Structure 1
């Protein structure tokens, strides 16, 4: 999976945070509160994200409304999977990753692994 570009990530961050359908105008206005960006640029990139399968869209009147297809967490997990895939030794790469985690992150990982293990028992 290719990492999102800067504007793609800005658009997705807003839509992930809002967790609802939104217009290009809403996204553009929100980005413009931080930095200038043209409406047509946001419209083009949003359409590209739809074409790539990141966004679903629905027509309301003359405007398209967009909402993420996948969660931010699913995107992060896919990036981690790609990162592991670069290594010839996935176990060593995973160990390096875990060694850099905070105690809270390690506890969350343990909980996730425990939950995964108990699902296999059912």
Structure 2
């Protein structure tokens, strides 16, 4: 996902593999992971000639926000979970949240 989020546009499996060259991944491995991401509806795939191009369904920020909502939904006491979260972040981030809410 990091490679797709950092890209300027849709990427082929080969382009994703090249971006991950330091990991020495087989093309089949990259295709398997991209296929799983597509089944989880995190990426979309479009055909262009013989190649498929992959792109994220949502931005990184939207994805993180969804994960945060999921975590809150799993908490039996949302208020307590939010209070613990706010107590765990630095003062400048708490101030930024206050500004956003204000």
Q: TM-score, normalised by structure 1?
A: 0.76
Distance 1:87 1:60 in 2: 43
Runs of at least 5 residues in structure 2 that lack an aligned partner in the other structure: none
- Aligned partner of 1:23 in structure 2 is 12
Distance 2:89 2:65 in 1: 15
Q: Of 84, 88, 99, which residue of structure 1 is paired with 2:72?
A: 84
Q: CA RMSD in A?
A: 1.4
Q: Structure 1 residue 95 and structure 2 residue 62: aligned?
A: no
Q: Is the 8 A contact 1:21 1:67 kept in 2?
A: yes
Which residue matches 2:41?
A: 53
> Of residues 78, 94, 100 in structure 2, which corresponds to 1:106?
94
Q: TM-score, normalised by structure 2?
A: 0.89
SS at match of 2:53: strand
Structure 1 residue ranges (4+ consecutive) displaced by more than 2 angstroms after TM superposition = none
Q: Partner residue of 1:13?
A: 2
